[in-house]
Amino acid sequence: MLNFSTLFLLSCLVLFTISTPSTPPEIRNCSTLQDLVEFGACLPLISKLKRYVEQHNSEPPSEHVENMTLLCEKTTSCLSRVQCKQGIEAKIVLDAACDIVKYRDSQLQLCIVGFFKKVYLAREMMNETSCFKYNDFLEKDMAKRSEAYTNGKQCFMDYVKESCNESSIEFFSKNYEKFVTTMTAEPIVKNCKSSHHLLNSFQCVAVAEQTASSIEQLSKTKIQPNDPRVDSALNLCRQTESCMNNSCAASESVRQRIQQSCNLVEMMQSKFGVCISKIMNDKPDLSRFECLGGMDFYATTTEVTCEKYKTKKSCVKSLMSDICGEAAVEDYDKIVGIVASQFECE
Query: Mind giving me the DSSP string for 112-181?
Result: HHHHHHHHHHHHH-TT--SHHHHS-TT-SSHHHHHHHHHHTHHHHHHHHHHHS-HHHHHHHHHHHHHHHH
Note whether 312 and 173 are same-domain residues: no
d(CA 130, CA 113): 18
* Percent share of the chain, pLDDT over 70: 88
Query: Range of 296's domain?
Result: 282-342
Q: Last residue of a domain, which of 265, 299, 319? A: 265
Tens digits of residue pLDDT in 147-167: 999 999 999 999 999 999 999
pLDDT category at 175 given cuts 50, 70, 90 is: very high
Q: Could you tell me if residue 184 is inside a domain?
A: yes
Q: Does 328 score more than 90 pLDDT?
A: yes
DSSP 310: I
Q: Could you tell me if residue 273 is inside a domain?
A: no
The pTM of the whole model exceeds 0.85: no
Note whether 143 and 199 are same-domain residues: yes
| pLDDT recorded at residue 17 | 35
Note whether 58 and 161 are same-domain residues: no
- 323 contacts: CB under 8 Å, gap ≥ 6: 275, 278, 279, 284
Query: In angstroms, what is the C-alpha Rg of the chain?
Result: 27
Q: Could you tell me if residue 163 is inside a domain?
A: yes
Note whether 99 and 157 are same-domain residues: no
Q: Last residue of a domain, which of 103, 123, 143? A: 103
pLDDT category at 192 given cuts 50, 70, 90 is: confident
Q: Could you tell me if residue 274 is inside a domain?
A: no
Q: Does 7 score more than 70 pLDDT?
A: no
Burial 186-214 (b: 16+ CB within 10 A, else e): ebeeeeebbbbbbbbbbbbbbbbbbbeeb
Of how many residues is the chain composed? 346
Note whether 123 and 99 are same-domain residues: no
Tens digits of residue pLDDT in 58-104: 555 556 666 777 888 888 888 888 888 777 777 777 777 777 778 88
Following CA atoms 133, 113, 143, 158 in sequence, which dihedral angle do they give, to the nearest 10 degrees?
60
Note whether 137 and 240 are same-domain residues: yes
Tens digits of residue pLDDT in 242-252: 999 988 888 89
d(CA 145, CA 187): 15
Q: Could you tell me if residue 271 is inside a domain?
A: no
Note whether 149 and 30 are same-domain residues: no
Note whether 16 and 99 are same-domain residues: yes
CB 320 within 8 A of CB 328: yes
Number of structural domains in the chain: 3
Q: Last residue of a domain, which of 204, 230, 265? A: 265
Q: Could you tell me if residue 136 is inside a domain?
A: yes
| pLDDT recorded at residue 128 | 79
d(CA 334, CA 263): 11
What count of other Cβ atoms lies within 10 Å of the Cβ of residue 171?
Answer: 21
